[in-house]
A and B are shown apart, each in its own frame.
Chain A
Amino acid sequence: MTSYENSTNTESKCIISTPGQRLCLAEDKYIGGVGTYTRQGYIMSCLAGIVKITAQPDKRILVEVRSGKEQTVVPSAGDIVTARITQVNPRWARCAILCVKEMVLAEPFRGQLRKEDVRATEKDRVEMYKCFRPNDIILARVLSLGDAHSYVLSTAENELGVVIAYSEEGTPMVPVGWQEMQCPKTYVKEMRKVAKVSPEIISNENNKEAAN
């Protein structure tokens, strides 16, 4: 078995690993992180990238492989995703998932937001048209991988819901309540399921917009 454990790059002083390369023993001391897997008692790399070794608070050592490129991400249950509404009807809204957590997807995945999952309370009184309009940008949580067609999303949390919406006139609206947004130009109020965006999320959102 050829192994290149010592092939350090002198210039940048980092170890570059390739898939299938043995990194270290899988002992209690070492934890395999992102980009690794364990086989026959060893932690192996499954990506081509830089080996990152970080000491954990509990004195264990985390071994990770970070590739230069964006990680391979797909939405998984529990993730917060950013999506654009594409279609609304009385029972559900369709959307295109654009980002998973902080990572922008190269291609959108389809998602579905059912009426029951729009908010946590008074579920039976939700009216879809008063919550979303096509082209709104929403934050949502992935409930499950769903079926062959789409992921199942939920906005049943205060922090989730519409974050960016345009008025009929075409200007970005500002939230004026958890159910309303107002156009700064025409002062027309429109109904939305508004997300309560906390400051740190806003800064993330800005980053995302910049990335888009």
Chain B
Amino acid sequence: MSIAPQLLRGPSLMAEILLSEAEKAFIHHGDDLRCDGRTRLDYRPIILETGLVSNASGSSRLRLANSDVLVGVKVELASPLSEKPLEGRLEFFVDCSANATPEFEGRGGEDLANEICRFLQMSYMSGDTINLSELSVLAGQQCWVLYVDILILECGGNLYDTVSLAVKSALYTTQIPSIKVATMDGDQPELELSEDPYDTKRLNTQNVPCLVTLMKIGNHYLVDPTPEEECCSSSGVVVAVSGSKKITAVRKIGSGSLHPESLVSMLKTASEVGAVVNKILMKKLLEEETAGKTQKVGFMR
């Protein structure tokens, strides 16, 4: 298998990282052992906390190595799209603030933000992942819109995975108030909000996909690349894997190319890894919920 002969350039918007020849050689040709002691299919430690933002309907903060992401979900009522009168919708917005990395200053982070947004939308689109008809309040007239705002506090590589895990956790904790359609006053329906603030429903997030980024380096591929590893790779794939191990969206990233065989094997690995990540995440979220809130850790720590 030949590496595309152009100069290798990291696919993400990471700042140019200076690497010596020896470091590059280790990343390219090293055995199943990476600079930080992981094997190729290991993630770095993840710190996750939910319910941090009191004004949001659901929120989470996730830190994966040096990437720190805060997600807040706001639920609002709106009229459904004319093409889909029976469904509510999810709106994603990624904010790559200039705080995270100097690269994002001005409009620098916009492209990356758009890319992440669009890919999340793509992977949530199929009915298998999240049931959007649950969000319908009154067919054709009122529905819930979930605004998922993703704030990138610190950018340390592997943003796709970090963001998707944080979004899933935030959606898991999202409380949607109960609303009743009361008397039809003429043609105008009247919506009645439940008086009990704890009378809420939750979304089924069992099947919400997690994104797994696999970078191709030399003749092998690895998950959760560090910025140094991203620098050494010219191409990879981001795979959205739902809770049931199905692939809901894939796209190639980076300016390099891949051999069909290696691509297929990457997809298979991604679906395995994604299923495990999904399972562990759901387990941890449940643990946090049942343990009850003792004290908040807070973000940026």
Contacts and interface: CB of A to CB of B under 8 A. Distances in A.
Interface of A: 37, 39-40
Interface string B68-80: 0000000000000
Contacts of B5: 37, 39
B2 interface: yes
Contacts of A40: 2
Contacts of B2: 39-40
Nearest to B5: A39
Nearest to A40: B2
A10 B5 CA distance: 35
Nearest to B2: A40
Interface residues of B, number: 2
Interface string B146-168: 00000000000000000000000
A20 to B, nearest CB: 12
4 contacts: A37-B5, A39-B2, A39-B5, A40-B2
A99 B5 CA distance: 30
Interface in B1-21: 2, 5
Nearest to A38: B5
A40 B5 CA distance: 11
B109 to A, nearest CB: 20
A37 B6 CA distance: 11
A186 to B, nearest CB: 53
A39 B2 CA distance: 9
Contacts of A39: 2, 5
A37 B2 CA distance: 14
A135 B113 CA distance: 46
A143 to B, nearest CB: 23
A102 B62 CA distance: 59
A37 B5 CA distance: 10
B202 to A, nearest CB: 52
Interface in B101-159: none
A37 to B, nearest CB: 7
4 A-B pairs closest in CB distance: A40-B2, A39-B5, A39-B2, A37-B5
A40 B3 CA distance: 11
A39 B3 CA distance: 10
A143 B184 CA distance: 80
A43 to B, nearest CB: 13
Nearest to B4: A39
A39 B5 CA distance: 8
B259 to A, nearest CB: 13
B200 to A, nearest CB: 54
A126 B2 CA distance: 54
Interface in B238-293: none
B171 to A, nearest CB: 43
A39 B4 CA distance: 10
A123 B166 CA distance: 62
Contacts of A37: 5
